[in-house]
Amino acid sequence: MKRRAFLAVASCALALPGAAGAGVQVWFSSGGEPVPVIRNGTTIQAAVEQLLAGPTAPERGRGIRSAVPHRTPLRSVTTTRRVVTVDLGARFAAGRDEAALRGRVGQLVRTVRSIPGVRSVRILIEGGVPVGLFPGYDLRRPVAAALQERPAHLLGTREVQQRLVDLGFLADPGVTGTADSQTSTAVLGFQKWANLPRDGALGVATRAALVRATRPVPALRAPGRRIEVQLRRQVALLIQDDKVVRTVHISSGAGGKTPRGSFSVYRKERNSWSVPFKVWLPWASYFTGGIAFHAYDSVPTYPASHGCVRVSRYDAPMLFGFAESGTRVDVFDEVALA
């Protein structure tokens, strides 16, 4: 067993595509907030090893700490379809302090996901007990149950933003530690999905729901790349092979003017001129007639457009890149499918 584990570690010291650079980003904490430091290396394994080594003496002098127990052994690191599985010794899950376990998992997940190309992280203890699959908190054993009970009032702004990233409502650059308009837009998307009041604010109910939430799942099943526009929730799900890549806050056509049905993206224009309404539509991806996804200054929480699907300026370029020509678009009232 030990020899097999050693070989697994040795064979997985590989960087994912795009991982080359000056160093790896390793996440610790300071004053209760997650903080990154740069370490030598370019691979996933190097990042995990640096995390397990803990902060340096100068870093500790600056108040940087780690929740990961000292001398936690690394058994193996493997990657399959951009899902990274990290197998650690039992020391990683030692103790009864739930907050400490959450801190350890948070540090490890952030560290591994800082490597470009990583989609999610699976943590094993002694080769068998799964701690969880992130994003999504796919928890299957008692060792991870504590992660579902994160006290909402303990979530800092940066931690909330990282949670929104993990659940697919916010892009990585949105983790700034400041509750800005981009965060509010992501929160609106989450509130819509979770059927919460739509105010874009990080109130107690929203924070509590973020702790319990799992990554959204599509209402329909179909292979390949596609987009679901769910009219009742007013969200667009960007889906690849039945996995939701991003969930986006939208505003569709007032009075049901966005057509229901299955369509495909047939025309794309970086800056499109609307002849009937005499307005520029940035990042436009047309999927039926003159109906398109596009950026717009006003994206309210309810249907308000002339038929197009409005997207915020934060999400529009990303959606434009995702919606390649031929991408399937399903528009429906999700309640009617139930």
Structurally, the chain folds into a number of domains equal to: 3
Same domain? 182 vs 68 = no
Closest to 66 (Cα-Cα) out of 80, 51, 77: 51
Contact call for residues 207 and 166 (beta carbons, < 8 A): no
Residue 217 counted as domain residue? no
Please tell me the predicted confidence (pLDDT) of residue 10. Answer: 33
Name residue 36's beta-bridge partners: 27
- Does the pLDDT at position 15 exceed 50? no
> What does the pLDDT average to over 301-315?
96
Task: Report yes or no on whether pTM surpasses 0.75.
Answer: no
Residues 6+ apart with CB under 8 A from 2: none
Q: How far apart are CA 104 and CA 102, in angstroms?
A: 5
Residues 6+ apart with CB under 8 A from 121: 83, 84, 85, 86, 108, 109, 112, 113, 133, 134
Same domain? 8 vs 80 = yes
The pLDDT-based confidence of 175 (bands split at 50, 70, 90) is confident
Same domain? 142 vs 85 = yes
- Does the pLDDT at position 171 exceed 70? yes
Report whether the peptide linkage leading into residue 135 is cis, meaning its omega lies within 30 degrees of zero.
yes
Q: For residue range 26-59, what is the model confidence (pLDDT) as tens digits? A: 999 888 788 889 888 888 999 999 999 999 999 9
Please tell me the predicted confidence (pLDDT) of residue 214. Answer: 81
Q: For residue range 206-217, what is the model confidence (pLDDT) as tens digits? A: 988 888 788 899
Q: Which of 165, 190, 212 is the last residue of a domain?
A: 212
Closest to 308 (Cα-Cα) out of 280, 288, 328, 322: 288
Same domain? 45 vs 127 = yes
- Side-chain-side CA neighbours of 137 within 13 Å: the count stands at 23
Same domain? 172 vs 189 = yes
Q: For residue range 111-156, what is the model confidence (pLDDT) as tens digits? A: 988 888 787 788 888 766 566 544 443 333 333 333 444 455 556 7
Starting at the edge strand that comes first in sequence, how are the strands of the sheet with 291-295 ordered? 261-264, 328-332, 225-230, 235-240, 243-251, 309-311, 291-295, 279-288, 267-274
Q: For residue range 253-288, what is the model confidence (pLDDT) as tens digits? A: 999 999 999 999 999 999 999 888 888 999 999 999
Residue 282 counted as domain residue? yes
The pLDDT-based confidence of 336 (bands split at 50, 70, 90) is low
Residue 45 counted as domain residue? yes
Q: Measuring CA to CA, how many Å separate 38 from each of 21, 43, 74, 165?
A: 11, 13, 20, 21
Domain holding 34, by residue range, is 2-149
Same domain? 272 vs 257 = yes
Same domain? 200 vs 260 = no
Same domain? 15 vs 124 = yes
Q: Which of 182, 212, 242 is the last residue of a domain?
A: 212
Length of the chain as a residue count = 338
Q: What is the CATH number of the domain that holds 250?
A: 2.40.440.10
Same domain? 206 vs 295 = no
> What does the pLDDT average to over 98-109?
82
Q: What is the CATH number of the domain that holds 189?
A: 1.10.101.10
Q: How far apart are CA 165 and CA 175, in angstroms?
A: 8
